[in-house]
Structure 1
Amino acid sequence: MVYVRVSTDKDEQVSSPENQIDICRYWLERNNYEWEEKSVVFDDGISGTVLLDRTAMQLVLEKARRREIKMVVFKSIHRLARDMRDALEIKETLIAHGVRLVTIEEGYDSLYEGKNDMKFEMFSMFAAQYPKTLSVSVTGALAAKVRRGEHLGQIPYGYKSVNKKLQIDEEVAPTIRKIFHWYNHHGLGFKSVMYKLNEELEKGNVVPPQRTEKWQLTTVQSIIKNASYTGTFIHNRYTTVKIDGRKKQIQNPREKWMIYENHHPAIIPIQEWELANSKIHKNHRKKITPWNEFRNILKCSECGSSMVIMQSYRIRKKDNVRVEWKYLKCSAYRRGGKDLCVNHAPIMYGDFRELMLKKIKEKANDIELNFQNTIQQQKKKEIASLETKLMLIEKKNRGLVDLYLEDKLISKQEFQLKRKEYENEIATIKDKLFIFKQENNTQMPIKNIKEAFEQFERNEEDLHHIFKQLLDEIIIYPDGKLDITYTFAK
């Protein structure tokens, strides 16, 4: 087999799939091997540092385990993996199952290297270091651009790019200044500023936001928190890490941030931004985001947005006790009021939770539980269809021997051609079965639903993970009506 991988559509020409295939084909033909186009497997647009996402590589390893291949050829260890642990794991898996591993650029061939792993480990270390070195070089180059006053990334609302540098958009800047002025000096909160903006928008006194027709709460919040409006640019605020074989973006500690003051013209004085954000921090110390056990399950019937928990409180005068209310609200209505959605009849979160506990128990008692959800049933049908097809072709393949040896109905040449055709088809179906199972291995196991009911009966304090396994979706209508879809019932 020949394995080919490109990280992005911007990969340089030397790493293009055509180039990799051509180099591998030349090596194979020079070493007296027959070239077959179908032996090429290809991972497109996937980083070499993320093994779990590389379906073609997983297929190569599975074929090795089934002892269906004898050799895998790579243009270089960079194409095999850029994580040293992954590279060594791939090598060990292949060699343990008798598969010869060849990386052409490094001249590594497991057939001749034997148990000497030093050469492979050394090149794997260089391959693993390459993206890190490249990242440092890129970061340094980007920092140099920032020092020259160039802007990196998305253009902040209120600015425009001229010769790679930010300039104030004089049509938008007055609206930005009004936002800070209302928030700092008129005593308005985020939501009041949003309503004020939409009122002024209808009068033509402010401009609309960048991506929507109406101003939303989150847009106001992001503008007030954005230090770019003071002329400051923050570089290296975020980084990418590898967690459990997958990449995730996280925020760097503040000590690692590279802060460039006076990087571009300021729309507001830095004192205005500091005043606004000191108010934000002060408010945040008082507020605790309510824990929503139904997050990603509750949806608004009118706009499809998530239903979120809002909370309010008052101090009861007679005994000085804090009384809290938690109720459900459409997130779109929360962000933009009546311009984005409608206000639902108030549903207290505690009452809603108790209702759902009751309904799930009733549903479980009223029906014969069907623990095969639609996706799992479809998956089984697909696998069954492929396995039936595989069984029929294998039967035909076995029957060829009788046609050739006993019945003498086909010639030796016809036998060999048909045998090869069947074997290729069998291998293709087996590959499809493997890939299909790989792509669907995130489906919820049946036992998880059973375990969910067992935990549900114990009525644990936090039931989010259980609700996720038992509830597919809950649609809430403005009048309080509910449409509930369960994962365990048709």
Structure 2
Amino acid sequence: MIMLAAVYCRVSTEKDDQINSLESQMSYFLNYIENCPDLTLFQIYADKGISGTAVKNRTRFIQMMEDAEKGLFQVIITKEVSRFSRNILDAVSYSRKLRNLGVSIRFMNDGIDTSQPDAELRLSIMASLAQEESRKTSDRVKWGQTRRMEKGVVFGTSMLGYDVKKGKIAVNTDGAEIVKNIFNKYVFLHMSASEIAKELQNEGIKTYTGKEKWTPSVIIKVLKNEKYCGDLRQKKTFTPDYLTHKKKTNKCNEKTVFIKDHHAPIISRDLWEAAQQELCSRSHVKKQDSGRSNKFYFSGKIICTNCGCPFSARKKKGKDGYYTVWKCLNNQCHVRYQIRNDSLMYMTAYSYSLLNIQNEKLTEHIHSLMNMAEIQLTGTSTTSLKQKKSEIEELKIKKLNIIDAYATRKISEDEFMALKSKYDSLIIHHNNEIENLQKTQSVKKLKNTTIKKYIDKIINYNNITKSIIYNCIEKVHAYENGIVKLKFCHLPQVFEFEIYFKKSKQYTT
């Protein structure tokens, strides 16, 4: 009886030598079938560059199993058990499934034919050996990758602001500007991840993957990525099971590989650390205020001027339902009146309307203050820089003098080496100071620039949002006589309101 035969081949990589191995396997099986009078070739199924430990990615193997269920062939020919599967459970289960379908498997190098009585025992032994070899290979690969990581080789792909190629990372100028923008807005402008994402989207800036939509989670990932300050941390994910190849987040399961100052940074370390502190701070506030309404955006901002305690929020029931009021936490305090939350919202909105009216005058005043700060900053830094550079030039002259003195035998070699070492150390010290001064000047200028933008943002808001209340209101001071004063961050104006009590429980502002 002539049987239709399917041939299964697999190589684990797409390297040239492996591809040649695949072609050799196919050629061998074609010759084998031609020399077997009881076999006729049905089809060759070949998987390239696929691991044998799991079936899900082996598309041709899956297709072969589907064709077997359709009864399209009666026998499968493959090189050895490790080509068919390196997972003992898969090897045995698929062998049994095929046997129930009336399909046998011939493993040529292992001399196993599943149509024979002792085939399953021999198949289990060979599959166990193949699986153990896969485990050893996996361990060797992981060990080799870790050693390369320790030497600074970068694993992974390119990202926003950086290009990764052949294990090296380099700054991508266009992406770097977006990264700087994100950090500045988050730290200096106190914008939320959602606001930054929306602004980038409105400006038509695309994500690194080319998508038009930015999400808060993408912004948070950027802010948490240590690569942007020049550090490299690898092995953030790990593969617990070499058979499934599923990656999991490394939560102290394995030791990560960390290299400080590995590559050129996009942002300064000071800005990076400020962003991490801000992330931690906002995360803490978010956990405290999770699920709460607008009233909590005033939390910690309303202060009693009589006792210094903050006001706390509570709900009260009125004719039209529940409403929120704020009251001094100190029950012994003389300030016993309550401020309605909707009154606070009105005060904020009215203050903003006044800011908009005074827009030109206010902008001019603030910008003049900022310019004065910049002039003072530049002047101080410039003086210090000039002084340090002058000292370096003097040290260089001293070095030339001792060289002359040593050449004319006026000083000994020991004296020359001691003085040279002293002057070299001082020059290095002064150069480091110059670098730090330049960095400080750059960061302060950037901060002043972003504060200007922040102030412009405040005075141009048309609608009151939660973000404005939380990020822009500095303090609300409550006085014993019913006076309430509202102060915005970075702005000189203080807005004063008075609460008028009509009856025992009614008041207006």
**TM-score normalised per structure 2:** 0.47
TM-score by length of structure 1 reads: 0.48
